[in-house]
Amino acid sequence: MVLDEQMRSTKRGYRKTKRAEDEQRTRRRIVDAAESLHATVGPARTSVSAVAARAGVTRATVYRHFPDDEALFTACSAQWVSHQRLPEPEAWTALPDPMERLRAGLTDIYRYYRSGEQMLTLIHRDADAVPAPVREKRIEAQHRWARTLLQPFPRGGSTKVRAAVRHAAGFDTWRSLCVVQGLSDRTAVELMVGMVAVAQGQLRAQHRPR
């Protein structure tokens, strides 16, 4: 009797484990499907029905794992980000010279933009369809990059320098220069460093004793 109960308990444990593994596989298929659709048609054109069809599950199954669009988008975004090599502003702080840090930071940022260009283009295009928490997290990361780039400038940079640096670090700027105009990342970085240098030089010229 004791042996029979142990066997039944083992079988119950096996079924529970298998059920949990099946649920995890289903969840991964749903997230994979959403990520694929976001990268090909964009968030605004990704419906729950399309995700369900791509994942090979029903709409009810999608909603069982993700009760709303925000939950699904958050999981999808986290998975995509986990596969990227994100910019590392902490590494830029080793460079105290403003222009050296700007060059290194933009090189790092532009490398990230190029590797994620397809997804990032659609995310920016469909910004209104991106849940606010996900959108705000991306924007805060961009603000942190700009703050790190501006930190070595005197007083954090003039109004012109701050505007130039933030413009240089933006995805739309990179895409215009490197995708639309066909510049290399390196050439685009040097162009933007030159723009900031001009802004900084103009500031100094305005305050030069006459």
CATH number of the domain where residue 50 is located: 1.10.357.10
* Distance (Å, whole) CA 165 – CA 192: 8
Average pLDDT for the chain? 91
Give me the pLDDT at residue 19, please: 73
Domain boundary among 39, 55, 82: 82
- Of 17, 107, 29, the closest CA to residue 66 belongs to 29
Q: Tell me the percentage of the chain whose pLDDT exceeds 90.
A: 82
User: Model's pTM, two decimal places?
Assistant: 0.85
Query: Structural domain tally of the chain?
Result: 2
Q: Could you tell me if 163 and 68 lie in one domain?
A: no
Q: Could you tell me if 96 and 199 lie in one domain?
A: yes
pLDDT digits (tens, 9 = 90+) for 119-170: 999 999 999 999 999 999 999 999 999 999 999 999 989 999 999 999 999 9
Q: Could you tell me if 72 and 156 lie in one domain?
A: no
Average pLDDT score over residue span 73-92: 96
Q: Could you tell me if 122 and 147 lie in one domain?
A: yes
Give me the pLDDT at residue 12, please: 62
Q: Could you tell me if 118 and 34 lie in one domain?
A: no
Q: Could you tell me if 194 and 98 lie in one domain?
A: yes
Domain boundary among 26, 57, 82: 82
Q: Could you tell me if 35 and 118 lie in one domain?
A: no
Q: Could you tell me if 94 and 158 lie in one domain?
A: yes
Q: Could you tell me if 107 and 71 lie in one domain?
A: no
Give every CB contact of residue 74 below 8 A, 6+ residues apart in sequence: 131, 133, 134
Q: Could you tell me if 49 and 128 lie in one domain?
A: no
Domain boundary among 82, 109, 126: 82
For residue 206, give both structure tokens. Answer: 């305005």
Give me the pLDDT at residue 119, please: 97
For residue 162, give both structure tokens. Answer: 């701050």
CA 50 to chain centre: 23
Q: Taking the CA atoms of 109, 115, 118 and 119 in sequence, report the sign of the dihedral they define.
A: negative
User: Which is more confidently placed, 166 or 19?
Assistant: 166
Q: Could you tell me if 76 and 108 lie in one domain?
A: no
pLDDT digits (tens, 9 = 90+) for 87-124: 999 999 999 999 999 999 999 999 999 999 999 999 99
Domain range for 34 is 2-82
Q: Could you tell me if 102 and 196 lie in one domain?
A: yes
Are residues 169 and 101 in contact, defined by beta-carbon separation less than 8 angstroms?
A: no
Tell me the CA distances in angstroms from 205 to 150, 162, 192, 194, one per residue in order.
20, 17, 20, 16
pLDDT of 57 above 70: yes
Q: Tell me the percentage of the chain whose pLDDT exceeds 70.
A: 87
Task: Collapse the DSSP code of 153 into the 3-class scheme (helix H, G, I; strand E, B; otherwise coil) and give the result.
Answer: coil
Give me the pLDDT at residue 178, please: 98
Give me the pLDDT at residue 7, please: 61
Average pLDDT score over residue span 175-201: 96
pLDDT of 15 above 90: no
